[in-house]
Every structure is written in C-alpha cells, then in structure tokens.
Amino acid sequence: MSPPRLFISYSWSSHDHELWVIDLASRLRESGIDVILDKWELKEGHDSISFMEKMVTDPTIQKVAVISDSKYAEKADGRVSGVGTETQIISREVYEKQDQNKFVAVLPERDPEGKPYLPAYYKGRIYIDLSAPENYAAEFERLVRWVYDKPLHVKPEIGKAPAFLEEEPTKSLGTSVSFRRAIDALKNGRPFVEGAVDEYLAIFSENMERFRITLDDSRDADDQIADSIEEFTPYRNEFIQLMLAIAQYATNDDMQKKLHRFFERLLPYLGRPEDMNSHHSWAFDNFKFIVHELYLYAIAILIRYERFAFVDRLLATPYYVSTNANRGREATTTFADFRDYMESFRGRDQKLRRLSSRADLLKQRAESSGFDFKSLMQADFVLYLRATLNDDYYVRWWPETLVYATNSYGPMEVFARSRSASYYEQANKLLGGVSANDLKAHVATLQGDRDKVPSWQFERISPAVLTEIDKLSGLP
C-alpha cells in the first residue's frame, strides 16, 4: 500500500514559524506520510500560488493540513474581502469545492485570550491543536490518525437488544441524576458540592425502603435474601464511586458529618419498622448485609487514601438511634452496630460446608466492585481492633472477611507501613490514637485470650501477625 499524501498549506509568517512547519512536516514523514511542502518542492522561478492551488485540487493528494496562525487567518479573511492578493492561502471558493474531509486546520498558536486563529470559512469546524507543549504528543497522534483515516474512537457495530429489556423491571433507588450531579461537583470543585452530596445521600437512604422484602414461604429464604442483595449491586457500586470521589476530593469536616448522618439514617433498616406488627425473624437480613457492606467499603476506601483522621471521626462519633430502631437500648450506639448478626445463611453454611457464606458473598461481590478485597479485609481488621480497644462487650465488631486471613496470611498494608514510627503517628488515628507501646500490649492481651480472637471452627486469625506487631514503629 502506498503511503498517504499530505499537502501542508501555511503562511510565510516568520523564519521561526517556517522552521516550526518544517519540523512538523519532518515528523509526519517519519510517521510514513508522504508530505508535500513548498520548501521541498518549489524551485526558483516557480509560481507559489499556482503550486498551492494545484496541490489542493490534485486528486492524488488525499489530505491538506492548513497551518492556521495569526497571519494565515488574517490573509485568508483578507482575500475573501478582496484584500491581500499576495497570499498563498486557500480561498473560500477552492475550499468549498473540495471534499471537506480533505482539510484540517492545525493550530501552532492561539491569540492572547486563548482563542484559536482560524479563517472565517473554517470557524465552527474541528481542528487539531499543537499550540500547547503538554498536549503536543496527543494532538500529533490525532493528526497522524486523521491522515491515515484511523480515528482513535471508532463507531462500534450495532449489537443485539439486551436481554434485560425482556425481563421485569428491577427496583430503582432513583439516584441516577443526583449521583451524576454529586460526582461532577466533587471532581470539579463546584460551589454546590456539599448540597449535591447531601441530596444524593438523602435520596439513597430514603429509597432503600424499596428494597424491603416480604419472604415467600414457598421459596428458600436464603435465596430470596441473596437475590435482594444482588439486586442492590448497582447502587452499592454507585456508592463506592461516590466514596472514592469523597476520599480524593472532599475530606473536610462537613463531608464527614454528612456521611455520618447518612449511616445514621441506615440504622433503622436493621430492625422492625414502627408500622410493622409481625415479621419473619430473617426479614431484615438483606438490609443487614447491605448496610454492613456499605460501611465496610466506606472505611476501606478512606484507609486506602490514608484519610486516617476522617476515619477516626466516623468511628469515634456516636450514632443516634431513632426510637423505632433502638430496640430498648441507648439513644446512641457505636460503629459496631453496622455489622449486625444475620440469622440466615446458617443453613447455607451447613449445606455447602462453608465456614462463612456471608464472607464468601462479600468476597464474591468484591469482584464486581472494582475494589480490592484485601482492602476490605484490612478495614475489617481495623474495625475489629478499634472495637476490642474498648472494654465494653457491646462495641465488638466481628470481622467477617478475616476467615480469609487465617493461617499464613501476612501483615495488613497499613501495619506493614507502620514499621515507620512517623507513619504510625498518622495511622494510629485509625485506632483512636493509641501509642505503639499500648497497641503492642493490647495485641499481646488478645493473643492470650482466645475468646477475643475470631475463629471459624479450627481456623483462627493472629492479631500479632496481621499487625506485624514485633516490628511496629521500629524504624524512624
């Protein structure tokens, strides 16, 4: 296949500009393009304007690059109005008689206000911008692709209608619009960011009621609960994306309060609503799993981005329990309530001979979250340690995912990094600011009290190994 032929049209604006054009033409030839340039083709005595007109209309030249600097645009527009007959610029008449896919404007510069220099006949059309050094490589690739008719983005073939169109519509939280608005506000620093996030979280928490299930005695309850959890997956993933944006762009006190209030609004879903007189003992297990999973991801994401102070505030601040959810307990509770015991799945554990179907499901679902399951395990372990640092039995957190951290599992990343004393000075906020020596003493106590160390039949975690406690703060 013969190389594509490209003619470069430009104005002799200055010696520096001519050198810029020659450099561009050389780069294009190195990319396998047969570039036609007056500097290389014209000899003494040749008519430059006639040469240019011939190149533009020559059918063997598939592409024409118009190097549109200030002089080029000025001369082109002057010729349209009858002024400036000395120019080699493509006239409007010539341009409009040709296939417009044959032409592209290439910017070597912009005006002082950052606007492109373009001939009047070209305005409103797509151009290639080589004026900014930081974008030169990407824009040069666009130019090469244009010459070869190999665009980066190719329209895909039309496929078959998706199968879900034939299925019954699934439940919706109705958050799609508010989610996009919140993500845009977070990533682009909009002034309404806090209101946008608050609106999304309010809709999310209120409309979770749509996922309340009424168990059908004719079907296996475990399956119904698992189906409801699976149906919620798109909204879990939505929340994960929001948390990633918060962790990267907005970890201020106001955002912490909004997230704290959001989880407070989820607590009532873990128990019987005020207007429900009778219920199956497993009726809320889908919510128990969903709320626990959301909280676990929130903490895991904040730890990944080392937002340790943010995590500390979420864990240290009591959560208000509304009247219909406190079940005769105190008006406030701790973060440990977000991991509530599920009565279901026990039969599944026995039938499948699994140590924890709940942990299995968390691990399986992590594959569709775009988030590393090891990060969830780390968050689970941090929450377990934080809970055990308080002597009150009711603040204990059972770390479901750590069934996968028994035997030869090594130290969690945040503790491996805490070999550095300076790193641990920041990371210890995850544990309420406990000193290295106090944590070492606490871990030794846990290791000596088997009742405080989570186990699954004969499998047991080792807090000393997971914290790499013997090396904690051993380095500067």
Which residue, 395, 424, 454, sits at the end of a domain?
395
The answer to whether residue 163 is domain-embedded is: no
Residue 474 belongs to domain spanning:
406-476
Same domain, 89 and 19: yes
pLDDT values of the chain reduced to their tens digit, one per residue, 476 residues:
789 999 998 888 899 999 999 999 999 999 999 999 988 987 776 777 677 777 777 888 889 898 999 888 887 777 544 334 444 456 555 556 667 688 899 999 999 998 998 887 777 788 999 999 888 999 999 999 999 999 888 888 887 776 545 655 568 999 999 999 999 999 999 999 999 999 999 999 999 999 998 888 778 888 889 999 999 999 999 999 999 999 999 999 999 999 999 999 999 999 877 766 656 667 889 999 999 999 999 999 999 999 999 999 999 999 998 755 445 567 899 999 999 988 887 766 556 667 788 999 999 999 988 889 999 999 999 999 999 998 654 457 899 999 999 877 889 999 999 999 999 999 999 999 999 999 999 999 999 888 889 888 888 899 999 999 999 999 99
Same domain, 367 and 454: no
The answer to whether residue 165 is domain-embedded is: no
Same domain, 43 and 13: yes
Residue 82: predicted pLDDT: 39
DSSP 3-state of 170: coil
The answer to whether residue 401 is domain-embedded is: no
Same domain, 353 and 462: no
Same domain, 180 and 282: yes
| Identity of the residue numbered 241 | Q
Helix (H) or strand (E) holding 104: strand 103-107
Helix (H) or strand (E) holding 438: helix 436-448
Same domain, 32 and 113: yes
CATH of the domain at 80: 3.40.50.10140
DSSP 3-state of 63: strand
The answer to whether residue 154 is domain-embedded is: no
The answer to whether residue 156 is domain-embedded is: no
Residue 392: predicted pLDDT: 55
The answer to whether residue 167 is domain-embedded is: no
8 Å CB contact between 338 and 348: no
CA distance 257 to 255: 5
The answer to whether residue 315 is domain-embedded is: yes
Angle at 115 between CA 112 and CA 117, to 5 degrees: 95
Same domain, 313 and 351: yes
Residues recorded for the chain: 476
Same domain, 25 and 119: yes
pTM for the predicted model, two decimal places: 0.66
Residue 279: predicted pLDDT: 64
Same domain, 222 and 338: yes
Which residue, 373, 395, 417, sits at the end of a domain?
395
Same domain, 242 and 386: yes
The answer to whether residue 164 is domain-embedded is: no
Same domain, 253 and 384: yes
Counted domains in the chain: 3
Same domain, 132 and 277: no
Longest Cα–Cα distance in the chain? 101
CA distance 172 to 170: 6
